[in-house]
Amino acid sequence: MKTLSDIFEHTLQDVYYAETAIIKALPKVAKAAKSPELKKAAEDHLSETKDQVKKLEQVFKSIGKKASGEKCDAIEGLIKEADGLIEDAEGTALDAGLLAACQAVEHYEIARYGSLREWAKDLGHDEAHKLLSEILDQEKATNNKLTNLAVTSINTAKKA
Ligand SMILES: [Fe+2]
């Protein structure tokens, strides 16, 4: 890897892998969450994530590349942490911990899409820039929704 174009493509493969991994992880979060609102947030984000994978496929197409993923250790680690919580935590700790784990994933994605959409602009990939900006906005909105859920309901829940 040498050029901006190389790192752009590499990072695109990284997020493609990450989104696919998130699609597999979110049903586990929805199942484990006790709070109905958190369950719904995970389910809603699952359909949004499926849509994001399609958008990423359009991004690959727009730069003349075939969509492919490259193992992303960061997302694997974040998902592993969430799996650990599902095994070890219960009550409020489980819901608050799962919500925080989802936000860690969102922050990771916000960082990645922020870089990617700027690189797309620098490289003159206008369609990719537009699509990646759309995904970035969705991730930010999801993160805000989760913050709101945490402070209004999950963190203050009086559960065993
Ligand atoms: Fe996403």
Ligand 1 geometric centre to CA of 6 (Å): 22
At 66, is the secondary structure helix, strand, or coil? coil
Tell how far the Cα of 49 is from the centroid of ligand 1, in angstroms.
5
Ligand 1 centroid–CA 160 distance in Å is 32
The CA distance from 51 to 154, in Å, is 27
59 C-alpha to ligand 1 centroid (Å)? 14
Report yes or no: 79 and 27 within 8 Å, Cβ to Cβ. Answer: no
Query: Are the CB atoms for 42 and 33 separated by under 8 Å?
Result: yes
Residue 130 belongs to what domain range? 4-153
Where residue 160 falls among pLDDT bands split at 50, 70, 90?
very low
Domain annotation covers residue 160: no
Establish if 42 belongs to a structural domain: yes
Give the CATH number of the domain where residue 103 resides: 1.20.1260.10
Compute how many other C-beta atoms are within 10 angstroms of the C-beta atom of residue 2. 6
Domain for residue 54, yes or no? yes
Give the pLDDT score at 158: 61
**Summary mean pLDDT of the chain:** 95
In a domain, 17, yes or no: yes
Q: Is position 23 within any domain?
A: yes
159 domain residue, yes or no? no
Q: Is the pTM of this model over 0.85?
A: yes
Tell me the CA–centroid distance for residue 121 and ligand 1, in Å: 20
**pLDDT at 61 (0 to 100):** 98
**Contact call for residues 25 and 82 (beta carbons, < 8 A):** yes
pLDDT, tens digit, 9 for 90 and up, residues 84-125: 999 999 999 999 999 999 999 999 999 999 999 999 999 999
CB 95 within 8 A of CB 154: yes
DSSP secondary structure code for residue 3 in this structure: S
Q: Considering only CA atoms, which of 35, 49, 16 is closest in space to residue 159?
A: 35
Q: Is residue 49 part of a domain?
A: yes
Predicted local confidence at residue 52, as pLDDT: 98
CA of 48 to the centre of ligand 1 (A): 7
109 Cα–ligand 1 center, Å: 6
* Domain total of the chain: 1
Query: How many angstroms does the Cα of residue 3 sit away from the middle of ligand 1?
Result: 26
Residue 52 inside a domain? The answer is: yes
Among 53-57, 62-66, 150-154, the range scoring the smallest mean pLDDT is 150-154
